[in-house]
Structure 1
Amino acid sequence: MMPITAAPMHCAGTKGMEKVLIEHCISLSMRAHHSSTSPFLLHTLSGSSHCSIFAFAGSWSVDDWIDGEHGAFGVSKIDSSLFPSLKNLVRDAPAAVNMAFLRSFQMLLKTSRLEVEISKAAAEKKRIVFTGHSSGGAIAVLATVWLLEKHLRTDYKNHTVPLCVTFGSPLIGDNLFCQALQREDWSCCFLHFVMTMDIIPQSPLAPLASLKEELQSILQFISPKSLCLSSNSFGISQLLSKFYYTVLRNALTISNHQSCLSMGCATSLLGTLSGFIKLSPYKPFGTFVFCCSNGRLVSVKNSDAILQMLFYCLREASGQEMADDPCRNFKEHLQYESKLKSCLEMQNVIHGDYLQTNDLFLSEMNMDEMPLVETLLDDLDMGKEAWLHLHAAGDWEMQRFRNQKRIDANYNKIQEALNVLDQYRATCELRGLCYYDAFKLQRDAEDFNANVKRLELAGLWDEIIEMLVRFELPDRFEGRTEWVKLGTRYCLLVEPLDIANYYRHSKNEDTGPYMVKGRPRRYRFTQRWNEHAQQMPKGSSLESCFWAMVEEISADMNNKKPFIEVKERVLELEKNVSVWLASRKLRNDVLLGGSTFVKWWMALPKHHKFNSCIAKLMNAVDKSG
């Protein structure tokens, strides 16, 4: 078991960031709020850091926080042209993001010198740091992801990884947003500082679209330029209390729902609850550093645990304070600069990620671990209920890694089965048979054995797909190169056998074309997986479906469909065949004289074959046959 550990600041998920850099970030972020000339401030930090800090101003207009046209929580699909990586590969679904924040960032790119200044800093080999307080932090997050997309996915070696440091920033993206950052290994670029009593970071957990009037009043109240911070009128106190309890009530529902899922309580009641109560889609990502009232910092990376801590820290620490002073939680939002600098002076950071079973039962822990856990309990003012929820989050994360370990144990089994099928294909060629046609005919024992391997592999890959659909594997799994390569090899080698089996049993006559109705999800996913890893256009690597294309065009022609109606598909297929054979994604056995492909092509109209881009290749096959 890995214990909770005390560590200096440079070990707290900050990737070696210096205290002075964080202090510059918070100071510049607060200054950006008061800037009336630019939506962002740029500061160059010389010395060993040698970085350019871009600090974004927050907005105090409710329209820049919530877009009511996009539902109660103001979320919409991410702009895939700006953020192509922010998607779920197995579900083929884009991430969702706060539309108001996204719109503000898009406008910033169009109307300011942001892109010019970033390009200039990158050309000078400076490390780029994006920072912001409040909604300025949300803009900093989007700027960071945009830069990662723009430079690192295309030219990783020549660019330094950017950093994003936010203070009291509201949540901005959904679970798929979080997952994509983990998959790309970008989550480590984000560091979020949160005061335990600051309500703003978790405010998107409430349906703000129905609270726009209240939110506008609160934004005016907490604006750094506001003159009403000392106001304690009955009206504003009532408003703040209502907002506080609305956020807390929604956060409690999400906390309980998430814990039930983490503990495997996937009952019908949860589905019924989701049908009646619309839950906020927002989820934290990156490293969160909670600033405790005693000056200690608690660093957490587990997104489910962060979600629980956002709720319980606020509820436990501010219950009585809220009754005595309703303005307290909102004033806290503006005190980051003074309080955080004081915390940084202490250089006292505790990791809160390793919340294993034994951490909850101090009697079973090592004596040297007990003071650290007790300290963490005291620092965050959390009760046993909170720790049960945190334990569920930690245990769920460990279960996902155990699942991955079990899947990894099948890696060699998959490799061995693919090697057997590779040998089967080589044996078919020695017999003068095309791999596809031999399997489709199923005349020999080797064909039967190959089918057994096909079914065995289908079971192994379907298990992986189902785990990914249910988020039962670590988010980084989809980013593992060795599995992407194995999935691609599997797709190229085995999908032709699935297609052969499909048309051998004439399933197309009842179900429809393989590409439309019959293609299993395991092949669709492995194709998308490879295209994403290779930064290829979506749907551009269909070579494993070659035989399905041949079968469908052939079926249409056999049904007396005029050649003019299938000509475009034939031309496209011929062009692809030329490329796929050259790249060895198609093997030469497709050109064996008796193959389905050769027979089909030879039956095409003579005037078409004469001008075909593969005419020389096919004529050579005809002469050798």
Structure 2
Amino acid sequence: MKHETSPFESSETLATLLASTPLLEESWRLCSHANAAAQGSFSVSRVGEVAYVAFSAVQTVGIWPEDRRGNLVEIQSVCEGVFDSFPRGGEEAVMVHGGLLQLFVLFYNSQIFQQKILEIVNECKSVVFTGHSLGGPIASLSALWLLSNIQTNSSSITVFCITYGSPMLGNEPFSQVILQERWAGNFCHVVARHDLLPRLLFAPSYMFDSQFHALFQLWHLSMTAPYFGQIGLQILVEKKDELFNKVLACVACRSRGGGDQETSLFWPFGSYLFCTDKGTICLDNEGAIVKFLYFIMMKGSATSCIEDHLEYGKYVEKACWQYLLKRSSVDACFDESSNDAGITLALQSLELTTQEPAYGDAKDCLLKARQLGCNRNLNNAKMAVNLAKITPLRAQIEWYKAFCDDSDEKLGYYDSFKLRTASKKGTKVSLNRLRLGWFWDELINMLQTNKLTHDFHKLPKYVNAAQFYKLLVEPLEIAEYYRNGEHKKKGHYIEHGRERRFKIFDKWWRDRKVGDEENNPRSKFASLTQDSCFWARVEEARDCLYQFRGETEKGNRTLLLEKIEKFEQYASSMVNRKEVSIDVLAENSSYNLFREEWKELKSQSQLLQPHFPGFQDGMVQ
């Protein structure tokens, strides 16, 4: 018998939540209200301490601009200050559809929108953003804007977003950032079986002539505003089938992982709730979502996709996960596992029968998606075991630090490792440093590929372990960087050499819940310097001193002196607050060498007086 998968994966939990609460009914009710109002409007409703914000489907936006890149723009580029708090991502730019982003900015700049959101944040515990059709991306961007600002403003409001028939919004790096920030669970996109709009942006703009742009605008009005329906259908009687077939071909290409660069621009994020007359199925695996966007559309037509786009109210009434689980008519054989039977029922709910050509592919895709989801808790347990296994490696580095701090050489932890000679002790510590890095890199990779639970990065055990690792090991990483002269090839460590894992751990530590005890002043020096990049700042300050001695241009000398003075004040404040380890104050440490060099330079150079008239002997403590 095959291994049974757990039913408690995130997508199934979300589906159960939506089916057992008024979220779907209430959000769609407000969407309908917004659609009936004026173009470009939004509606707000409150149910207890939950606020609903719905955006009208009737908007004007260029879906197929002349730009072959699909009008993708960086999310921070449209309006300064709006998405400044949104994560930047990795090497590839985080991009969204420029026209859809501009629609959100129009709402954002509205005084009434700002006023309503401020009232909601101050008075409600939860907010649900929702939108039908082109209102969906505006709802998604509103939720993302609030989520990114919650982190900055320390607000406790819960944010959720439900869209109906929404087009794609951004590229794959955009989806990855949402996944990495653990925001994917805040979004659910409801998609009818044949609705074209959620698949529309899989088709690159160059496939369509300029006539299609105007035709689409009218078609969209026919879908979102019924009183335009007859006009739209009459004009599109010849073109609508061509449009449908071109988009379906692009979706098929994407589902197989093919296509050129343009067909790979847009990518799903969050969970997708696929709906038919017979039931629903919820997926949160992006690859599976793309495949199912094709599987359940194969027998559609241009007419059926218009009908489906207008009938989300009907699907909302029938979206009940319990109904799916309790269905009695099952084609599956009795010797199938309960997991196989459940998958068969799920595919039947999307009207995919065993006679369908795509049934086998859809079943394999769904099975893999479920296995990925249910394995998250198992992966959590495995990482807990692996964390315990690396504890001896960390303990050996702690012992090495204590040995260096007590050494007669009086170099301290950082400089002892940087200036080490060939020895078993130094080699073993360096190997342990690498092994610990491998463990944390694997953990981060699993987290960012959605193989761990959504709250993993908030578990105190891992937040504290990551912070301790960073404070203990990053000084060794810095020492190795400067020991090998990497700063001469790439530049200084903080900007050019710091591993991504340490930046991620910085964020984990900033986002943790801080107790009052952490604000109490220290009575003795810290066991580990609380700024893990302290030694990199020391190296940069010493380099500034070296550059100053050879610099003749007055402006550059001034800038160098300002940098040195800024670091000296920062370091002195850390020492005064006892936020450094005793190795910082070791007699022959790099920091003490910096203080001596800085003091000597001040006593020798009269040029410092005009730039820093407040300088006096003895300022360096």
- TM-score, L = length of structure 2: 0.78
- Given that 1:578 and 1:614 are in contact with CA atoms closer than 8 Å, whether structure 2 keeps it comes out as no
Closer, same or farther in 2 for the Cα pair 1:10/1:560, shift >3 Å? closer
**Further displaced range: 53-62 or 305-314:** 53-62
Closer, same or farther in 2 for the Cα pair 1:342/1:458, shift >3 Å? closer
Give the SS at the match of 2:237: helix
**Further displaced range: 280-289 or 458-467:** 458-467
Q: 2:411 aligns with which of 420, 423, 433?
A: 433
Q: 2:347 aligns with which of 371, 374, 377?
A: 377
Q: 1:33 aligns with which of 23, 26, 35?
A: 35
Q: 1:343: which partner in 2? A: 318
- Given that 1:72 and 1:210 are in contact with CA atoms closer than 8 Å, whether structure 2 keeps it comes out as no
Unpaired stretches in structure 1, ≥5 consecutive residues: 258-272, 352-358, 620-625
- Given that 2:185 and 2:270 are in contact with CA atoms closer than 8 Å, whether structure 1 keeps it comes out as yes
Shift of 1:148: 2.4
- Given that 2:463 and 2:508 are in contact with CA atoms closer than 8 Å, whether structure 1 keeps it comes out as no
Give the SS at the match of 2:346: helix
Closer, same or farther in 2 for the Cα pair 1:560/1:133, shift >3 Å? closer
Equivalent-residue separation in structure 1 for 2:386 and 2:615 (angstroms): 43
Residue 560 of structure 2 corresponds to residue 566 of structure 1: yes
Equivalent-residue separation in structure 2 for 1:94 and 1:62 (angstroms): 23
Q: Which has the higher contact order (CA 8 A, sep 6+)?
A: 1
Alignment of 1:216-255 (within 5 A): 216-223=214-221, 224-227=224-227, 229-230=229-230, 236-255=236-255
Shift of 1:57: 0.9
Residue 314 of structure 2 corresponds to residue 314 of structure 1: no
Shift of 1:54: 1.8
In the alignment, residue 350 of structure 2 is paired with which amino acid? L
- Given that 1:137 and 1:166 are in contact with CA atoms closer than 8 Å, whether structure 2 keeps it comes out as yes
Closer, same or farther in 2 for the Cα pair 1:552/1:378, shift >3 Å? same
Shift of 1:512: 5.1
**Further displaced range: 482-491 or 418-427:** 482-491
Q: 2:602 aligns with which of 601, 606, 619?
A: 606
Q: 2:272: which partner in 1? A: 288
Residue 571 of structure 2 corresponds to residue 577 of structure 1: yes
Q: 2:436: which partner in 1? A: 457
Shift of 1:66: 5.2
Residue 344 of structure 2 corresponds to residue 365 of structure 1: no
Equivalent-residue separation in structure 1 for 2:291 and 2:484 (angstroms): 53
Equivalent-residue separation in structure 2 for 1:362 and 1:582 (angstroms): 74
Q: 1:543: which partner in 2? A: 534
Give the SS at the match of 2:238: helix
Equivalent-residue separation in structure 1 for 2:4 and 2:573 (angstroms): 52
Q: 2:204: which partner in 1? A: 207
Give the SS at the match of 2:305: helix
Closer, same or farther in 2 for the Cα pair 1:245/1:584, shift >3 Å? farther
Once the two structures are superposed, what CA deviation does each residue of 1:211-264 show, in whole Å capped at 9, x if it has no partner? Answer: 36324323423423354535797862331111111211111121111xxxxxxx
In the alignment, residue 311 of structure 2 is paired with which amino acid? Q
* Percent of residue pairs identical: 21
- Given that 2:324 and 2:346 are in contact with CA atoms closer than 8 Å, whether structure 1 keeps it comes out as no
Shift of 1:34: 2.7
- Given that 2:377 and 2:453 are in contact with CA atoms closer than 8 Å, whether structure 1 keeps it comes out as no
Equivalent-residue separation in structure 2 for 1:390 and 1:10 (angstroms): 12
Equivalent-residue separation in structure 1 for 2:417 and 2:376 (angstroms): 38
Shift of 1:179: 3.3
Q: 1:519 aligns with which of 475, 480, 497?
A: 497
- Given that 1:183 and 1:475 are in contact with CA atoms closer than 8 Å, whether structure 2 keeps it comes out as no
Closer, same or farther in 2 for the Cα pair 1:6/1:579, shift >3 Å? closer
In the alignment, residue 573 of structure 1 is paired with which amino acid? F
Equivalent-residue separation in structure 1 for 2:288 and 2:380 (angstroms): 20
**Further displaced range: 450-459 or 527-536:** 527-536
Q: 1:303: which partner in 2? A: 286
In the alignment, residue 420 of structure 1 is paired with which amino acid? Q
Once the two structures are superposed, what CA deviation does each residue of 1:517-553 show, in whole Å capped at 9, x if it has no partner? Answer: 9725x3x4412541465169xxx98435234324533
Give the SS at the match of 2:266: coil
What root-mean-square deviation, in Å, do the aligned CA atoms of Structure 1 and Structure 2 show? 4.1
Give the SS at the match of 1:314: coil
Alignment of 1:252-291 (within 5 A): 252-257=252-257, 276-291=260-275
- Given that 1:575 and 1:613 are in contact with CA atoms closer than 8 Å, whether structure 2 keeps it comes out as no
Q: 2:188: which partner in 1? A: 191
Q: 2:113: which partner in 1? A: 114
Alignment of 1:129-140 (within 5 A): 129-140=128-139
Closer, same or farther in 2 for the Cα pair 1:541/1:576, shift >3 Å? farther
- Given that 1:95 and 1:174 are in contact with CA atoms closer than 8 Å, whether structure 2 keeps it comes out as yes
Equivalent-residue separation in structure 2 for 1:162 and 1:424 (angstroms): 47
In the alignment, residue 591 of structure 2 is paired with which amino acid? F
Residue 172 of structure 2 corresponds to residue 181 of structure 1: no
Closer, same or farther in 2 for the Cα pair 1:27/1:312, shift >3 Å? same
Shift of 1:134: 0.4
Give the SS at the match of 1:73: coil
Once the two structures are superposed, what CA deviation does each residue of 1:44-89 show, in whole Å capped at 9, x if it has no partner? Answer: 33xxx443322211235342x45555x4322222228434564365
Closer, same or farther in 2 for the Cα pair 1:239/1:299, shift >3 Å? same
Shift of 1:136: 0.7
Equivalent-residue separation in structure 2 for 1:249 and 1:37 (angstroms): 32
Q: 2:586 aligns with which of 587, 592, 607?
A: 592
Residue 497 of structure 2 corresponds to residue 499 of structure 1: no
Equivalent-residue separation in structure 1 for 2:251 and 2:331 (angstroms): 23
Equivalent-residue separation in structure 2 for 1:344 and 1:486 (angstroms): 43
- Given that 1:502 and 1:508 are in contact with CA atoms closer than 8 Å, whether structure 2 keeps it comes out as yes
Alignment of 1:34-73 (within 5 A): 34-36=36-38, 39-45=41-47, 49-63=48-62, 65=63, 68-69=66-67, 71-73=68-70
- Given that 2:446 and 2:452 are in contact with CA atoms closer than 8 Å, whether structure 1 keeps it comes out as no
In the alignment, residue 281 of structure 2 is paired with which amino acid? V
In the alignment, residue 202 of structure 1 is paired with which amino acid? R
In the alignment, residue 50 of structure 2 is paired with which amino acid? C
In the alignment, residue 280 of structure 1 is paired with which amino acid? S
Once the two structures are superposed, what CA deviation does each residue of 1:265-304 show, in whole Å capped at 9, x if it has no partner? Answer: xxxxxxxx66x4423332323332222123x222333332
Once the two structures are superposed, what CA deviation does each residue of 1:184-204 show, in whole Å capped at 9, x if it has no partner? Answer: 443333232221111111212
Shift of 1:108: 0.7
Q: How many residues align?
A: 570
Shift of 1:327: 1.7
In the alignment, residue 214 of structure 2 is paired with which amino acid? Q
- Given that 2:478 and 2:493 are in contact with CA atoms closer than 8 Å, whether structure 1 keeps it comes out as no
